Amino acid sequence: MHKLSKYLLCGFIAISCFIGSTSHAQDKGEKLVFTSISVSARSQLKNFINNVQSASGTFEQSQVVLGWGAAEGQTLNTSDLQKGEFVFERPGKFAWIVKEPLEQQIVSDGSVLLQYDPDLLQVTERDVKKAIGTSPASILFGNSKIETSFKLENLPEKEGWIRARPKQSDSGMKYIDIHFIDGMPTELLIMDSFDKTTSIKFTSIKEGNPLGASAFKLKDIPQNVDRVKL
């Protein structure tokens, strides 16, 4: 299993964003309007979950070093770098497609999660609620009840960032730091239980799902794959 599966399933350079009346907009379920008052990362996270119902974009994932001076934020090994694209539609529908260096497809129709690993010639099927649990995927693609599974912590020393700490001790993660710019996530930093940090950077994020329901189906699967239900 690729590292992406482990961190996505086991478990957004900051700028000032602006709003007129954050609490009033959120109470009515309206999108934040960037005007003249700085919007906290917490408000941006809740706005993203409550109001961005679908989106697509690209990602880069790598293991990084944190807290080591000049090396901070650097990729440990270029062979660890993964690139791909994603699309989601709340609640619970998403496709996470790794293009490089090895292909992998993870798709959910909101009920069942399918993972295709071409190198194993295997498709794994899981219940999506059990598979996502307290994971980065539950924040990115889940419903509005984030504080049921995570404790949110402000990071005043890191503008534009917020920390989500899983309430379950067996989630496999210590915390997820999320960076926002203009109401959209730009990076996740995932600290696992072994103190290793994975960075997932998002680019070209656009609201909407241009592919419709077909986005959440596995594509080009050989007939001779093994199918495993967990």
Kindly report, residue by residue over 62-88, the tens digit of the pLDDT. 988 765 444 445 555 555 789 999 999
Whether the per-residue pLDDT at 135 is higher than 80: the answer is: no
Q: pLDDT-derived band of residue 115, with 50, 70 and 90 as boundaries?
A: very high
DSSP letter for each residue of 159-201? TTEEEEEESSTTSSEEEEEEEEETTEEEEEEEEETTS-EEEEE
pLDDT, average across residues 185-214: 90
Give the chain's mean pLDDT.
78
Helix (H, G, I), strand (E, B) or coil at 14: coil
The pLDDT value recorded for residue 12 is 26
The pLDDT value recorded for residue 4 is 43
The pLDDT value recorded for residue 9 is 44
- Taking only the tens place, the pLDDT of each residue in 8-53 is 443 321 222 221 222 233 333 445 443 323 478 999 999 999 999 9
Domain borders along the chain are 39-218
| CATH of segment(s) 39-218 | 2.50.20.10
Angle value at C-alpha 191, between 49 and 128, nearest 5 degrees: 50
The pLDDT value recorded for residue 156 is 82
Instruction: Give the Cα separation of 226 and 52 in Å (integer).
Output: 36
Q: pLDDT-derived band of residue 229, with 50, 70 and 90 as boundaries?
A: very high
